Chain A
Amino acid sequence: DAKTTQPPSMDCAEGRAANLPCNHSTISGNEYVYWYRQIHSQGPQYIIHGLKNNETNEMASLIITEDRKSSTLILPHATLRDTAVYYCIVRAGANNLFFGTGTRLTVIP
């Protein structure tokens, strides 16, 4: 599996967009980019995934660069409930996900 690199922590003001970066320079052509988040002591929650096109759903947008070596998760209007650890995962299938240390996002009032 391709390894990912994420900043350990980020802050975002409430109501502003949160942009979480992820580098995955060794990604293979058949590997998808997944984003999950984990609110303290709860099970991880799926957010979004994509292969090469940008994706958007009711929770977030995923922007993948043309060379697919990096991506950005965008929470358009961060709320206090978005405070969590966000995991960027690169995998060919959903079966075996490797969760690294992620980015701890703190939304500040």
Chain B
Amino acid sequence: ETGVTQTPRHLVMGMTNKKSLKCEQHLGHNAMYWYKQSAKKPLELMFVYNFKEQTENNSVPSRFSPECPNSSHLFLHLHTLQPEDSALYLCASSLDPLGVDEQFFGPGTRLTVL
């Protein structure tokens, strides 16, 4: 247990569905992140939120829409996804967005797009 939880752990959706991934951290951290890990590829950073404000968007398609209502919760809203979006989606948090502290990762959501 890292203090970062993600739900659901597994998700299967069609290309026309709308779904959301949820991440919650119980560590009092101020920065949260979404990563994508496709099969046999390195982790790719998608979004960074510092103190609820989005500070980084690594050219992610608009069919992925993040939301950070407070420092403890992070969502990733999904709509009209493609089969190539099937991947492990990981959430992480860190204490100080400008510091050198480590990131704590959740267990991930395994997404399959049919």
Where the two chains meet, the residues of A that have a C-beta atom closer than 8 Å to any C-beta of B are: 32, 34, 41-46, 49, 93-102
Q: Which residue of B lies closest to A30 (CB)?
A: B100
Query: What is the count of residue pairs linking A and B with beta-carbon distances less than 8 angstroms?
Result: 55
Q: How large is the interface on B (under 10, 10 to 19, 20 to 34, 35 or more residues)?
A: 20 to 34
Expressed in whole angstroms, the minimum distance between the Cβ of B47 and any Cβ of chain A is 11
Question: How far is B41's CA from A98's CA once the two chains are assembled, in angstroms?
Answer: 12
Asked if A43 contacts B42 (CB within 8 A), the reply is no
Q: Which residue of A lies closest to B41 (CB)?
A: A101
1/0 per residue B35-59: CB within 8 Å of A?
A: 0000000110100101000001000
Question: How far is B90's CA from A97's CA once the two chains are assembled, in angstroms?
Answer: 13
Given contacts A43-B105, A49-B102, A95-B98, contact A101 B42 (CB under 8 A): yes
Where the two chains meet, the residues of B that have a C-beta atom closer than 8 Å to any C-beta of A are: 2, 4, 31, 42-43, 45, 48, 50, 56, 88, 90, 92, 94, 96-108, 110
Asked if A99 contacts B102 (CB within 8 A), the reply is no
Given contacts A32-B100, A49-B100, contact A95 B106 (CB under 8 A): no
